[in-house]
Amino acid sequence: MARAARDPEERIRERNIRLIIKAGIEIFARKGFDGTRIAEIAEASGLPKANVYYYFSSKEEIYTTIIAHLLASWDNALKYISPEREPAEAFRLYIKAKLDYTRKNMAESRLFASEIIQGARFLTKKDREHIRQVTDRHVAVIEGWIAAGKMLPVDPRHLFIMLWASTQFYSDFEPVAIDALKTSRLKAGDYDKAAATIAETILRGILPCS
Amino acid sequence: MARAARDPEERIRERNIRLIIKAGIEIFARKGFDGTRIAEIAEASGLPKANVYYYFSSKEEIYTTIIAHLLASWDNALKYISPEREPAEAFRLYIKAKLDYTRKNMAESRLFASEIIQGARFLTKKDREHIRQVTDRHVAVIEGWIAAGKMLPVDPRHLFIMLWASTQFYSDFEPVAIDALKTSRLKAGDYDKAAATIAETILRGILPCS
DNA sequence: GTCTATAGGTAGATAGAC
DNA sequence: GTCTATCTACCTATAGAC
């Protein structure tokens, strides 16, 4: 019955939801949850405000949809921290992947940072439990490398924070990074230079003296 | 005339302004500029909303007053990066001072991070020029150490970003830090451990192999 | 599915009594 | 200097025609 007509409708539906989410990411990142107005999301996505409410029942539902999607793609760079790799290669790959992701998904990255800085109001207990478990798994890998004498005994949790923070900085704090690096905008070369400096410094900091 | 009566009035004035600023820091940090309501600042500072408008002409004026005050106390930790010190001692002191400041002024720290992440809308050209100059001065100190062979040739600007980011993380991203460190809240000992790990790792990363 | 119109509430800011 | 009452504008969310 409706089956034949369902596909094109479904396509429009998916397209509109994508447009709303995309606009939402940009605006929530810039204004935070409370500062964002649905009307602005509607305008940026090219839909009337009422249609936004047709697809999402509230501002909160748009926001939490974005957060959920974000967390799903979050662990990606960490896959490089795996026991069958040598630490030097693993950290180099991780740093590069993390900076790449951050650069290509600036708005998402900032939205996540905003959400955390403003108190993680919309991170569920499950989300936070997930963060703990993912961290635990990769802490274990590092502990393995330390036990095998492949790395100096550096606290793995604080090491992860250093890596997370250093790579996150370039997109989240872009205006400050621009001033600190004396450039008018961050270019691909700046990210390469960042990756190289972070990797070299950290690797000398955690590997046995050669 | 009014001279005799001026002093106690002046005291009340100063006290009220302090209360407004203090409440403003907390709430702006949690909700961002757009998300903050003057009524909430008024309530938190124990004054009627109209009185807030008696002392400040707009929401923006409260916000920029806070930002200006923040920037003034910002350079403090950097004073340790000075040419007459040895690099090892200088960085150790800087990291400790920065983490101390961050821990004791969490709300300000978060407010500043929020402001930057949301696009630095209220940082003036002068503010940003100030950041550039302060960075330049300390970059020169590091270049001096490198030229003197006291440090490996690490890019000073990216090194500063690593230090800035790593120390900032613990208060700005506290909810994530809590999960990553598997604790229920950050204690003084966590900050000490952070300072030690960051300093040890960075120092091995920038000093000649011994 | 789309859109206009609007209800119902709350924001920033001000007027004016005390 | 303090505070109540209020203006105007705008917000979230919905009703209902098409």
Q: Which residues of A touch B132 (CB under 8 A)?
A: 179-180, 182
pLDDT of residue A77: 87
Residue ranges and CATH numbers for the domains of chain A are 1-57 (1.10.10.60), 67-206 (1.10.357.10)
Q: d(Cα A115, Cα B31) in Å, to the nearest integer?
A: 10
Q: What is the pLDDT of residues B23-51, one digit of tens each?
A: 999 999 999 999 999 999 999 999 999 99
Q: In this complex, which of A30, A169, A205 lies closest to B205 when CB atoms are compared? A: A205
Cβ neighbours of A6 (radius 10 Å)? 11
- Whether B142 has a pLDDT exceeding 50, the answer reads yes
Cβ neighbours of A74 (radius 10 Å)? 16
pLDDT level of residue B2 (50, 70, 90 thresholds):
very low
Closest of A196, A180, A200 to residue B165, by C-alpha: A180
Q: d(Cα A50, Cα A141) in Å, to the nearest integer?
A: 50
Three-state SS letters, B185-201: CCCHHHHHHHHHHHHHH
Burial of B134 (0-12, 13-18, 19+ CB in 10 A): middle
Q: What is the pLDDT of residues B156-206, one digit of tens each?
A: 999 999 999 999 999 999 999 999 999 999 999 999 999 999 999 999 999
Closest of B100, B99, B102, B82 to residue B90, by C-alpha: B82
pLDDT of residue B206: 97
Angle among Cα A147, A152, A157 to the nearest 5 degrees reads 85
Residue that is written with structure tokens 């923006």 in the block: B60
Q: What is the pLDDT of residues B14-23, one digit of tens each?
A: 999 999 999 9
Cα torsion B129, B130, B131, B133: sign:
positive
Q: How far is A134 from chain B (nearest CA, A)?
A: 9
Write the DSSP symbol of residue A80.
Answer: G
Q: d(Cα A106, Cα A30) in Å, to the nearest integer?
A: 11
Q: In this complex, which of B116, B131, B205 lies closest to A202 when CB atoms are compared? A: B205
Instruction: Write out the two tokens for B197.
Output: 């790990």
Q: d(Cα B122, Cα B68) in Å, to the nearest integer?
A: 10
Instruction: Write out the two tokens for B190.
Output: 């966590």
Q: Which residues of A touch B180 (CB under 8 A)?
A: 131-132, 135, 157, 160-161, 164
Q: Is B204 helix (H, G, I), strand (E, B) or coil?
A: helix
- Whether B1 has a pLDDT exceeding 70, the answer reads no
Average pLDDT of the segment spanning B99-109 = 94
Amino acid at B7: D
Low-confidence residues in chain A, pLDDT < 70: 1-6
